[in-house]
Amino acid sequence: MIKVQKTGFYSTIQDFGRHGYQEYGVPYSGVMDAYSASLANVLLGNKAQSAVMEITMMGPVLEFQCSTTICISGADMTPKLNDLPLKLNKATTVKSGDLLSFGRLNYGFRTYLAVLGGFKTEKVMGSRSMYQGITKHTVITKNDELLVDTSVKGFVKQLATIKIDKFHLNSNIIEVLKGPEFEMLSKSKQELLFSKPFTISKDNNRMAYQLTEILPNNLEPIITSSVLPGAVQLTPSGKLIVLMRDCQTTGGYPRVLQLKNMAINILSQKFTGNNIRFKLIEF
């Protein structure tokens, strides 16, 4: 077990989400930054899609009540084990009674804690990803006792470290494809999407990132259609909304762009006030 002493700002258990239930209005959910989460798992010898703890902006304090091995990847929140600095992207053995804590956010926005064998919280519709109305808990709470599998064997220590390219944590380039309604935009508005930076507004979360700058819009709403994480919707007021992992399954705003998978990972590590630039990728 891992006992939650402090929760941090917004910490959840996530895997790679629910698939096959979107026709019933169930979001995909899953880790916001799939690259960092899978990296932490692979460094432990876990399956890449194993459940991890997704930690946002400010980390929790966790008490380990068993011995296991952990790895932290993604944003640097100055992790410490028993008040001693802990390296990112490195497998570390922890013992019963050890305390894991986090401090200053140095870069990125979301970090991922993987444990050997993955977290074993409740599984609903094939996934352990927390989501309101689907799982009992939306976030971890104080005094929660999170189950881990201490019987897992086979960790290979010599594969425990690797030099990591921080490109997706530092880049502000968001690669996109044309969305289904892209051609409805005038040529000048199409060019405007790629000629200027956009700022992430205070309205950003696991469901969507709204951008501050306005793209003048006279498009008609579309018939409600399916949407995917990474879809960029254009509202009647000219707001651009980038849908993220917990997004709804249908929408009626024109879908002008679609983020590539890696672009979703990059955007998930940005926060209020950060600038991004869209880059169109042609096939």
Structure tokens at 23: 């026709």
What pLDDT is attached to residue 160? 47
- Are 40 and 112 in contact by the 8 Å Cβ rule? The answer is yes
- Asked if residue 153 has pLDDT above 80, the reply is no
Rounded Cα gap, residues 187 and 77, in angstroms? 43
Decide yes or no: CATH 2.40.100.10 for domain 171-280. Answer: yes
Q: With H, G, I as helix, E, B as strand and everything else as coil, classify residue 36.
A: helix
- Is 70 exceeded by the pLDDT of residue 155? no
Distance separating alpha carbons of residues 57 and 41, to the nearest angstrom: 21
Q: Which residue has the tokens 């306005």?
A: 214
The DSSP output letter for 16 is: S
CB atoms within 10 A of CB 66: 16
The C-alpha atoms of residue 259 and residue 242 are separated, in whole angstroms, by 8
- Beta-strand ranges (E) seen in the chain are 2-6, 10-14, 52-56, 61-64, 68-76, 80-81, 84-85, 92-94, 99-101, 107-115, 145-146, 173-178, 198-204, 208-211, 225-226, 231-234, 240-243, 250-251, 255-259, 275-280
pLDDT in tens, 160-185: 456 777 888 999 999 999 999 999 99
Tokens describing residue 129: 């990803």
Sign of CA dihedral 152, 125, 121, 116: positive
Q: Is the pLDDT of residue 29 over 60?
A: yes
- The Cα–Cα gap between 165 and 158 comes to 20
pLDDT (0 to 100) of residue 8:
94
pLDDT of amino acid 150: 78
Taking 50 as the threshold, does the pLDDT of residue 148 lie above it?
Answer: yes
Residue type, 53: M
Are the C-beta atoms of 169 and 269 separated by less than 8 Å? yes
Sequence spans of domains, the chain: 2-167, 171-280
On whether the pTM is more than 0.75, the answer is yes
With beta carbons less than 8 A apart as the criterion, state whether 240 and 23 touch: no
